[in-house]
Amino acid sequence: MTKFSKNSCYYWLFLLFTNNYYYLNAQTKNNENVFQGWVGYITNIRLNQKYSLSNDVHYNPTAFLVVRTGITRQINENINFTFGYAWARTATSFSDNLIRKEHRPWGQLVANLPIPNSRIQLNYRLRYDMRFRQKIENNQLTEDWILVHRVRFLTGFRIPLSPSTQKNTLFLNIFDEVLLNFGEMIVRNNLDQNRIGILLGKTYKSMFKK
């Protein structure tokens, strides 16, 4: 009989203020400030003391659908790393429909550091996305693929909203994440996005056997 610890299941509502930077030509740089809201469902199921299974889904009907899974290895109480795969459909510059396919192997390193004499936690995350994206030519999707590399640097605070004695707790995350593109397909616009956001979630803790 195998014991699993379903130690954290998150239901997150994403409220984001996003800065998107891009070039129209060699001389002009546009900065677009966009307020976006999307929903995400995130689970983390602990298999044993060292490994857990991560799954999440993120959806914005006019921007993207991302389904991500991965295996997490706990290095110590505060640091872990994850490797996994994500499948995505995204909108394009000529359509708000989620028509562009994407395959995305990814990995990340996370440090969750408690602030002394406080229940607040300081979070750092470094993530790498290997984005195989459907190629666009003349505002048409093709059967070819391009490869874009992206690194993401996140700093945030996790603030508990429920009493420490409560088993299932509400929390608030405030974060700033910078997304940088690099690779052969990226000529000028290395800065993809700067996301500043607030996340509301709930953690469930339970044990079950299989």
Per residue in 110-152, pLDDT tens? Answer: 999 999 988 899 999 999 999 999 999 998 999 999 999 999 9
Q: In which domain, by residue range, is 121 found?
A: 3-209
Instruction: Assess contact for 69 and 43: CB atoms under 8 A.
Output: no
Its sign, for the CA torsion 127, 102, 192, 27, is positive
**For residue 188, what pLDDT band results from cuts at 50, 70 and 90?**
low
Q: Return the closest-CA partner of residue 8 out of 172, 208, 198, 168.
A: 168
How many domains does the chain fold into? 1
Angle, CA of 17, 36 and 154, to the nearest 5°: 50
49 class by beta-carbon count within 10 Å (0-12 exposed, 13-18 middle, 19+ buried): exposed
Higher-confidence residue of 1 and 184: namely 184
pLDDT(18) > 60: no
For residue 53, give the CATH number of its domain: 2.40.128.100
Torsions phi, psi of 184, nearest 5?
Answer: -60, -35
pLDDT of the residue at 182: 85
